[in-house]
Chain A
Amino acid sequence: MYEGNRPFTPRYVLPDYALALRQGVRYLELEPPTDLDGALTFLTCLCSQVPSVTTYPVYLGDLDALLEPYVPAELSDEELDAKLRRFWIQLDRLVPDAFAHLNVGPSDGRVIRAIWRVERSTPQTVPNITFKVDPALTPDDLIADAVRTVFVTGKPHFVNHPMMTADHPGGYAAVSCYNSLKIGGGAHTLVRINLAKAADLHDGGLDSFLAEALPLLVELNSELIEARIRSLVETQGFFQSNFLALEGLIDIDRFSAMFGIFGLAECVNKLMARDGHPEATYGHHDAANVASYRITERVAELVRSRPQPYCQGGDGFAYLHSQSGIDLDLDATAGTRIPVGDEPGMREHITVVAPHHKLFPAGISDIFHVDDTVKRNPEAMVDIIRGALGFGMRDFTFNLNDNEFIRITGYMVRKSDLVKDDAHGARHASDYLASTAEINHTVLTRCLKRITAVELDPLVFR
């Protein structure tokens, strides 16, 4: 997941697939499709050419909206499901990487209903799915259908559509691991600050951390972001040469960079202890929670006052992102999450983390572990999801404790695949990351990876 210092493609690219379907793609010699089979083939070909940091596409389109016009009334649900199931199998085998992400919602329709059926009957890690929920538009029984799908595959992830639309006018999608970016745009780069380590490097308490440490760290992080953007845009020539840009499927003015933070929990706890309140821990004590809001608000303020070139998607600034971790992170909790196993009750958990969400237009994630009793009452989850979005949460994910599918940072892995990896190597690029993720160190040992090169692993260079 390392970009190197001179990235030659943007980290995340979100082509305007709807425009492509209307106008065709000259570079790939694809005419606009006229039927559902044509549209599925068109999308398979196009997505395979979309670059990203993983070398696989991270965005596969807002699939229900893209396909709905190609579904004739006379096509039966069984035929529709069969076509989508073939597409699902193609995606999982041709794009073997669980960061590949499609979006659905917020409206009801035949395709989104078919997608939930196909997901439940074809349990795969690819595609990852985000469901856009608009409380005023999305019906309860469609949310309940999605909740039933989570019971089987751990997908989808739910996002607050009105909040996202306000931050990303002209269309957005959630891609990779909870990265919400503009459709027809994307993110040049993602550079992150480890707040846990930042607290270690600072000698003082909270006030001086806000006044002295954060401005320096934000500036250092911003300089690296700027250097990568300038290299990508001014030297590498991606936007002058790639067909997506040349044919108008992406527009540099809908790009920005992602400014990530992680390890907030440890940062807060260390600073509280230094200020003489070792008992005040993030997620459990008002003083610690207030400190956490002061930290994220300060970072947001600093990022909003540090202009970045070629970041018109963020009105000239980087997008703040609560970064959900990578496999190599040790001793630092993902993003702004409360550490796993230390979460308070669900209502309190939502109440504590929700105030952060408005500050992170490029995405933020909190994962809620839910008792299996909800399996018999999915409407209970619908209530909680509606409540959470109403409370100002941008992103909402829940997992069942006993699910075969587990969410690592934002992407999915099947437990059975991890077991098989040890003996046979991983079929998905992301399975390899999952098996080395710290979260799994106690579950399973490292695995062989057979589909990407070791050059992507920075440890090899050390």
Chain B
Amino acid sequence: MTTGLVTGTIEFSAVDGPGNRFVTFLQGCNLDCLACHNPYTINVCNDCGICVEGCPSGALSLVGTRVAWDPTVCLGSDACLTVCPYDATPKARTMTPAQLVDLVRPAAPFLSGITVSGGEATQQAAFVRAFFEVLRDDPATAGLTRFVDTNGDAPQATWDLLDPVMDAAMVDLKALDADLHRRLTGHGNALILDSIRTLAARGRLYEVRLLLASGVNDSDDLLARTGAFLAAVDPTMRVKVIGYRPHGVRPSPIPLLEPTAEHLAHCATVLAGTGDFKLVTL
């Protein structure tokens, strides 16, 4: 049976798509973004055991060669995440789609939908597909919309796999410029731009999100080119402009600074000059 490596779930979230949503975070990401807010979701635990000693609640232990986590003892100090040198967590759990749906079901009457996030959800695309199929086929959850929160760095085959069961995706675009993108994330952005085109063409693109750090990826020139690219894909798409915030972020070789509210508003104006976007500024 397909299983997924699940970092955690949130029953009610107001910040992961339209309406109230159940969010599932999947462990593991193929990018390595400087501005990542939850870097402990990037890699999969390699059972090195460093965190076992660092745990103040005694919830972690070495069982054979594996690090085991006992959630009934855990006090939630997140000391394990602080000491982990590999940007991973010992608390990710292997779950089946049915086990996850069991968690969604009691919350379903209060939700617009569910969102899979991460990490990078498309890294576990087969599991996401299986999870969405169970959600679709269970009468208690069939009415919920099924969204994927993604970095977009996935081949078309991934979107082909998810298309029959997914309502929409929310895609991050860290930078339109490939070199800058590589400096910010460790990867190029060709697949991401393709994903935006593919999803928009299929009517599966809910929004594109631009995370802007002051002096890094918020120049008028870059924003104008970004706006032109997005407008060529769909001039009426929903674009969310998000100011970088340092919460949870690792020390960065490139200084990352929060843009002011005034500057974010200016960025939105520049984008508005390039298309008839539904602009949201955070």
Known A351-B106, A384-B20; contact A379-B112, beta-carbon cutoff 8 A: yes
Q: By the criterion of a CB under 8 Å from any partner CB, how many residues of chain B are at the interface?
A: 17
B69 CB within 8 Å of chain A: no
A380 CB within 8 Å of chain B: yes
The B-contacting residues of A in range 340-389, CB under 8 angstroms, are 345-347, 350-351, 371, 373-374, 376-377, 379-384, 386-388
Residues of A within 8 A of B111 (CB): 383, 387
A458 CB within 8 Å of chain B: no
Q: Is the pair B19, A377 in contact by a Cβ cutoff of 8 Å?
A: yes
For A346, give the chain B residue with the smallest CB separation.
B12
For A387, give the chain B residue with the smallest CB separation.
B110
Residues of A within 8 A of B110 (CB): 347, 350, 383-384, 386-388
Question: What is the minimal beta-carbon distance from B161 to any residue of chain A, in angstroms?
Answer: 29
B12's partner among A347, A386, A391 (CB-CB below 8 A) is A347
Residues of A within 8 A of B18 (CB): 377, 379
Known A371-B14, A373-B14; contact A380-B109, beta-carbon cutoff 8 A: no
Residues of B within 8 A of A373 (CB): 14-15
Q: Is the pair A345, B14 in contact by a Cβ cutoff of 8 Å?
A: no
Q: How far is the CA of A391 from the CA of B110 in the complex (A)?
A: 9
Question: What is the minimal beta-carbon distance from B217 to any residue of chain A, in angstroms?
Answer: 22
Question: What is the minimal beta-carbon distance from B73 to any residue of chain A, in angstroms?
Answer: 16
For B14, give the chain A residue with the smallest CB separation.
A380
Q: How far is the CA of A159 from the CA of B35 in the complex (A)?
A: 43
Question: What is the minimal beta-carbon distance from A58 to any residue of chain B, in angstroms?
Answer: 32
For A370, give the chain B residue with the smallest CB separation.
B14
Question: What is the minimal beta-carbon distance from B268 to any residue of chain A, in angstroms?
Answer: 15
The B-contacting residues of A in range 245-294, CB under 8 angstroms, are none
Contact mask for chain B residues 1-44; partner A; CB cutoff 8 A; 1 contact, 0 none: 00000000001111100111100000000000000000000000
Contact mask for chain B residues 243-275; partner A; CB cutoff 8 A; 1 contact, 0 none: 000000000000000000000000000000000
The A-contacting residues of B in range 80-120, CB under 8 angstroms, are 106-107, 109-112
B282's partner among A371, A376, A388 (CB-CB below 8 A) is A376
A390 CB within 8 Å of chain B: yes
Q: Is the pair B20, A380 in contact by a Cβ cutoff of 8 Å?
A: yes
Residues of B within 8 A of A345 (CB): 11-12
A380's partner among B12, B107, B280 (CB-CB below 8 A) is B12
Residues of A within 8 A of B15 (CB): 373, 376-377
Q: Is the pair A347, B106 in contact by a Cβ cutoff of 8 Å?
A: yes
Q: Is the pair B19, A391 in contact by a Cβ cutoff of 8 Å?
A: no
Residues of B within 8 A of A347 (CB): 11-12, 106-107, 110
For A372, give the chain B residue with the smallest CB separation.
B14
Q: How far is the CA of A442 from the CA of B15 in the complex (A)?
A: 33
Known A347-B11, A387-B111; contact A380-B19, beta-carbon cutoff 8 A: yes
Question: What is the minimal beta-carbon distance from A19 to any residue of chain B, in angstroms?
Answer: 39
Using a CB–CB cutoff of 8 Å, the interface residues on chain B facing chain A are: 11-15, 18-21, 106-107, 109-112, 280, 282
Give 14 new A-B contacts, CB below 8 A, not counting A376-B280, A377-B19.
A347-B12, A350-B110, A351-B106, A371-B14, A376-B14, A376-B282, A379-B20, A380-B19, A380-B20, A381-B14, A383-B20, A383-B112, A387-B20, A388-B110
Please list the 4 inter-chain residue pairs (A to B) with the smallest Cβ-Cβ separation, ordered nearest first.
Answer: A387-B110, A383-B20, A380-B14, A380-B20
